[in-house]
Structure 1
Amino acid sequence: MRASPSIAPHGPDQDTYLVLDDFGRTGRAWRETDEGATDRETLILNLLSGEYKNPVRIVTFNTAEGWSRDVTVDVADEVRRRLVECGEISESILAFLVATNRG
């Protein structure tokens, strides 16, 4: 029996991160992402650079290990830690950080 190709965009030992972006009147969509840009570090750098219009949820999954989870708050916490390194942040990221604030 022939094996099906992997749906994971990279190696089986790497987690994949996707962003649900809110485009206002046109609705929400999982952002299309280059297969080499679905790792956590690239996601955080893209958030800090204003790549997303209005991120509302971030999920990660690993098909090889068979799990997925919502990591929105965890990623927001990491972005907060890195704000010191950034000059300016976009209004959308500021809104994202306010919406995910646990305190």
Structure 2
Amino acid sequence: MEFIMRSSSWTPSIVPNDNVETVYLVADDLGRLGRAWREADCETADLETVLGDLLTGQYSNPIRIVAFNTAEHWAEDVSEDVARELRRRCDLQMRELPHTISDFVERHDVRDRRQLTLRLV
């Protein structure tokens, strides 16, 4: 028995049709095991859950975070925005960044964090 695959530009969706929310996926560096897009439950791939998981050390070494919305037909690397939000939350709680995300935040939070100096006349 021989199977022949038809050539097609159609690709099946991995997101349920009734899900119109934005989905967030984290690329994680797993060391010797390599890099992978971490598995995410359809119900918990929202921004708030991803932020909470990052703050509680659920990822070993996050590299990039991508958001996509199939209903609105867009995808975007949101690493910079997520890094800025992680720093903001830690600053508000007056705590250090968890070691599992400190490299990620330093790489992606590209704001100029230097203090401005005032010239005295």
TM-score by length of 2: 0.73
Where do residues 23-102 of structure 1 align in structure 2 (5 Å cutoff)? Answer: 23-83=30-90, 84-85=92-93, 87=95, 89-102=97-110
Residues 6 and 26 of structure 1, relative CA distance in 2, 3 Å threshold = closer
Contact persistence 2:29–2:35 (CA under 8 A): yes
Q: In the alignment, does 2:22 pair up with 1:18?
A: no
Q: 1:78 to 1:11 in 2, by over 3 A?
A: farther
1:31-78 C-alpha deviation (Å, 9 max, x unpaired) = 001111100011101111111000000000011111100000001111
Q: How large is the RMSD of aligned CA atoms in angstroms?
A: 2.0
Q: Matched residue of 1:65: which SS?
A: coil
Aligned partners of 2:106, 2:79: CA distance in 1, in Å? 12
- Point out where structure 1 has 5 or more consecutive residues left out of the alignment: none
Q: Structure 2: which 5+ residue stretches go unaligned? A: 1-11, 113-121
Aligned partners of 1:49 and 1:89 also within 8 Å: no
Greater percentage in helix: 1
Rg larger in 1 or in 2? 2
Q: Which amino acid aligns with 2:81?
A: D
Q: Distance in 1 between matches of 2:109 and 2:14?
A: 33
- The normalised TM-score by structure 1 is 0.84
Q: Flag the structure with more relative contact order, 1 or 2, with Cα contacts below 8 A and sequence separation at least 6.
A: 1
